[in-house]
Structures are given as C-alpha cells and as structure tokens.
Amino acid sequence: MALGHDADGERRVSLRRRRQELLTRDGAPSFWAVLDEAVLHRPVGGPGVLRGQIEHLIDMSKLPNVTIQLLPYAAGGHAAAGSSFTMLRFAEPELPDIVYLEQLTSALYLDRRQDLELYRQVMDQLSVQAEPPERSRKELARIAESLD
C-alpha cells in the first residue's frame, strides 16, 4: 500500500503545524520531550529536510516553556524502546492526566491510574538517562552540522 498526499494527510500536517504554534503564543503550555537519538539519523525527505527539522528543534528548545532532551545511543536499552507516547497534563486539578498513544489507524487515550503511574515512571527514567537540555541542544547542533 503506497502512502500518498491525500486530504487526510494534509489535514494531519495542518493540525501539527497549528499545534506547534501553541508553544510560541502568550500563555503557552509547557512542553517536555525526550528524543531517542535514533530518530535523528533517519533522513526522511533527505538530509536537508532532516537538518531543517533538527534546527527547528534547536530553536524551539530555546523557548522558556520548552525542554528537549536527547537520549543518546550510549544510554543503551531504555524503558520506552520501540514505542513512543505523549503524556498530557492539565493545569486544572479536576482534569486527570492522559497518556496518548498514536497508532497507524487510530489512537489510544489511557487514563487508568495504574497506566498513568507506569508511564510517569518511564518518563522519569528517560529524563534521567537522557542528556541535560543544554548538552542536548549542543548535540542536536553537532548532528545538524554533520548533515552537509
């Protein structure tokens, strides 16, 4: 099955762009990401596209509400190997945290207490294994420069 530029794909790209804009507005939410170094070495769209994406990450990481950490190969195996997840936390105390898992054709939203606790533990482990934010930014710059 070939993947093409259909209306659904364009809609998803548009949504992701709007979601990115949220981080630069007044009252922007906090954003914290731990990226596996492996994602920085798969040049989907070519090296120039990857370099642009990494440079965007560097720019975004300079925002006061954005924290980006790089989980280096040297960290070895990690608690989230082979998967990714998003933990949504809300300012309103009456709203529970939610874990979002995106799949090829659907998405899951987990809100059971035991699931949330497991994902919190995984995030804690990843953030300890990952490079600190400033060192991560320098490593992102080094990787971007190597894509010439």
Per-position pLDDT tens, the chain of length 148:
455 557 777 887 788 778 778 888 888 889 999 999 988 888 888 889 999 999 999 999 999 999 999 999 887 666 666 678 888 888 888 888 999 998 889 999 999 999 999 999 999 999 999 999 999 999 999 999 998 7
Residue 5 lies in a domain: no
Residue 136 lies in a domain: yes
Q: How many domains does the chain have?
A: 1
Residue 16 lies in a domain: no
Residue 8 lies in a domain: no
Residue 4 lies in a domain: no
Of 98, 125, 119, 22, nearest in space to 65 by CA: 22
| pTM to 2 decimal places | 0.79
Residue keyed to tokens 């995106």: 102
Residue 11 lies in a domain: no
Domain that includes residue 90, residue range:
29-145
